[in-house]
Amino acid sequence: MIVVLVHIHVKPEAVEDFIAATEANARNSILEAGIARFDFIQQVEDTNRFVLIEAYRERSDMAKHKKTEHYLKWRQTVEGMMVEPRVGIQHQSLWPEDEEW
């Protein structure tokens, strides 16, 4: 299992639109066979900062996700809403076991 934490800093005036676009992307992403989890969280202390927690069953599932219609639409929609480019950091899941996701 590959888990990607995507850190995103959004312009204050774009937060509501960013949340709407990202919720739509998350709802569609979790339906992909290669995605075990797709969480969307907002920082409490700075509500302009978000993290996507994406758990892929196989490394190749990340590439498949980036070709989906909903991801491409999301990327285009939110591009101008960010203060700085988003940062995705890949992790290897150690626990729970892959079968438990």
Do 10 and 82 contact (CB within 8 A), yes or no?
A: yes
Would the pTM count as exceeding 0.75?
yes
Task: Identify any residues that bridge with 97 across adjacent strands, giving them in sequence order.
Answer: none
The pLDDT of residue 21: 98
User: Going from the N-terminus, what domains does the chain have, and what CATH number goes with each?
Assistant: 2-100 (3.30.70.100)
Split at pLDDT 50, 70, 90, the class of 91 is very high
User: What is the phi-psi region of residue 60: left when phi exceeds 0, alpha when psi lies from -120 to 50, beta otherwise?
Assistant: alpha
Is 100 a residue whose pLDDT tops 70?
no
Split at pLDDT 50, 70, 90, the class of 61 is very high
Percentage with pLDDT > 90 across the chain: 91
> How far is Cα 47 from Cα 2, in angstroms, rounded to an integer?
27
The C-alpha angle with vertex 65 and arms to 61 and 70, in degrees rounded to 5, equals 160
